[in-house]
Structure 1
Amino acid sequence: MQLSEEELSQFIAVPIDPDKKRRQQIDDMVVVEANDLIDKARHQLTARELKIMDFITSQIQPEDTKFHSISLSIAELTDAINLAKGGRTYKQVAASLFNLVDKPVTILSTGANGKRQLTRTNWLSEATVVEDGKITVHVSASLSKYLLNLNGHYTSHLFRDTAMLNSRYAIILYVSKNQQLVTLLKNRDFACFEQLNLFNNF
């Protein structure tokens, strides 16, 4: 169920401005995800929802063995994904968080028996918005094998690289091209310089 802006208006009455030092830390965060979540997942996230999910993913630490709750302010998140400050924007970001609980992602993978399988889950298992503008989110446990303890088949990019993009398709293309190039480099396929040049000029 999607909430209207009017229904969200009671929650975000006192937005908290993000600290400039914290913003720099956010810009330097790295998004790390399994390749299967990039090229074998099907979803209908908007550009804003993709950037929010990238931000949430960037908060996961390499040493994490399980998902922890992630807490911040709605103003900090809005600033991180390069949206204008304002009450209406905060309400839209809050609505996007709730959409990440509702919207499914379907992932193609290979099971232990060697058979292909489709798994459908949600991006977030829970999202909470407090009336002072603070938020807490929990990543769906079903995504743990795509975001935790990754060895070998994963790709990373700086959070700011996708935060600056405004189109859903631009974000998906950037992440996909980045994944392809990382795979080429890991396989030492240095003959594909045309693809590298295409990516650098994107």
Structure 2
Amino acid sequence: MAPNFRRVVEQELTKVFDCDEATILGGLMATLEDLPYHPVPSVKGTDIIDGCAQTSTRLVAGLGTVVSAPAIRPDVCLLHAQEADAYGNVRYHGTPFCDPLFAKASTTVIVTADVIVNNDVIRAEPHRTVIPGYLVDAVVEAPYGAHPCASQGHYPHDEPHLLEYIASGASAHRWNDEYLGPFVHQPANLDDYIELVGGAARIDQLTDTVR
């Protein structure tokens, strides 16, 4: 799924810390707790400590020796949701996964949403707000903004396009000519991009599969 990342890692062009998801989330939790580290008992007894140089082990009462993840505070967090209002109150039509945690731990949070709804809609059902506006620095209306990945309740992932993306990443030359140029640099706006990936009719066909 990440051929370009894989290539630069294999060529040792970037530094990588090989951490599992629990350790990364532990680092985000440490930021929320205003602590230098957060214990991650679930990786006790594994070799995570050997692959992730940022972690260390600590003796925790009741848990014994556990891996401790240092606090992580991302400079910028970019999230996609199904609905938001102009004030940055965000709603999901499915599981938000770890998005609220990233939003709380990050310095700057930008949300793209398939639909921007009126604030009255948000206020009518406040219990549905997953990420409150005070955590969000900017919100952008971006219909189909998660493409080629999925947006729950709106459209599934676009597998043919993802396969094209993966194939173009086989080399830096192919990536620039076959994907980065046509799909990233060439479109002037989101409407242009949608046309490039098959137009509204094709996007609607993807949407129909989840209705």
TM-score, length-normalised on structure 2? Answer: 0.24
TM-score, length-normalised on structure 1? Answer: 0.24
Higher relative contact order (CA 8 A, sep 6+): 1
- Between structure 1 and structure 2, the one with the greater Rg is 2
